């Protein structure tokens, strides 16, 4: 009898995978927290998420931002007002419908998103370079399968771009 056919083997395997994913997620949360530490005096985590959504959208109406962030429009408006006051976002008349306003990043807002993303990318790259080429390939496959199983967009090879919670991968993976 193959180990995977043994009663309880599938549950034990799922428990081992769950434990491994939780452990890895703690590492990724720590990497994320360190990447945000450099800008924590300028923006909160929810405000940073809003900046990332604006970075991915280019410009957006308030209702769209609220929906992407999973917050009430009034909450999004307060966040936007603070970001505008800090010079990280601005409002413009929608060129397609002059009755509407759209929100967009300022250059300062774009630089914050890029800085945090670059810090995160560098730290993850440093971790990944400690893996063997075979481990790297297996990790890409495993993470793509995990993302697909979670039915979220953005798995490797699917074009990337938008992720849950308003996160995005702002630069394409290297060719090759």
**Tens digit of each residue's pLDDT (9 = 90 or more) over 45-67:** 899 999 999 999 888 988 889 99
The three-state DSSP-derived secondary structure of 59-94 is EECHHHHHHHHCCCHHHHHHHHHHHHHCCCEEEEEC
User: Per the domain annotation, does 99 fall within a domain?
Assistant: yes
- pLDDT for residue 132: 97
Q: Containing domain of residue 49, as a range? A: 3-154
Sign of torsion over alpha carbons 72, 38, 164, 63: positive
**From first to last of its 176 residues, what are the pLDDT tens digits of the chain?**
555 556 666 676 888 999 999 999 999 999 999 999 989 889 998 999 999 999 998 889 888 899 988 999 999 999 999 999 999 999 988 778 788 888 999 999 999 999 999 999 999 999 999 999 999 999 999 999 998 888 655 434 334 444 444 444 444 444 44
CATH of the domain at 107: 1.10.10.10
User: Per the domain annotation, does 163 fall within a domain?
Assistant: no
Distance (Å, whole) CA 29 – CA 31: 5
User: Per the domain annotation, does 78 fall within a domain?
Assistant: yes
- pLDDT for residue 163: 43
User: Per the domain annotation, does 38 fall within a domain?
Assistant: yes
Nearest-CA neighbor of 66 among 82, 83, 54, 84? 54
User: Per the domain annotation, does 169 fall within a domain?
Assistant: no
Number of structural domains the chain divides into = 1
């Amino acid at each position: 009898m193959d180990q995977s056919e043994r009663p309880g083997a599938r549950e034990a395997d799922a428990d081992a995978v769950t434990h491994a994913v939780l452990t890895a997620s703690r590492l990724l949360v720590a990497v994320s927290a360190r990447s945000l530490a450099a800008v924590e005096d300028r923006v909160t985590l929810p405000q940073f998420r809003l900046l990332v959504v604006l970075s991915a959208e280019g410009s957006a109406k308030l209702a769209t931002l609220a929906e992407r962030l999973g917050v009430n429009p009034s909450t999004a408006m307060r966040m936007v007002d603070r970001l505008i006051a800090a010079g990280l976002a601005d409002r413009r008349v929608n060129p397609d419908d002059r009755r509407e306003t759209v929100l967009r990043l300022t250059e300062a807002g774009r630089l914050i998103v890029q800085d945090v993303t670059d810090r995160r990318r560098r730290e993850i790259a440093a971790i990944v370079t400690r893996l063997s080429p075979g481990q790297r390939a297996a990790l890409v496959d495993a993470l793509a399968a995990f993302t697909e199983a979670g039915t979220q967009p953005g798995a490797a090879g699917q074009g990337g771009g938008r992720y849950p919670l308003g996160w995005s991968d702002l630069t394409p993976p290297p060719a090759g």
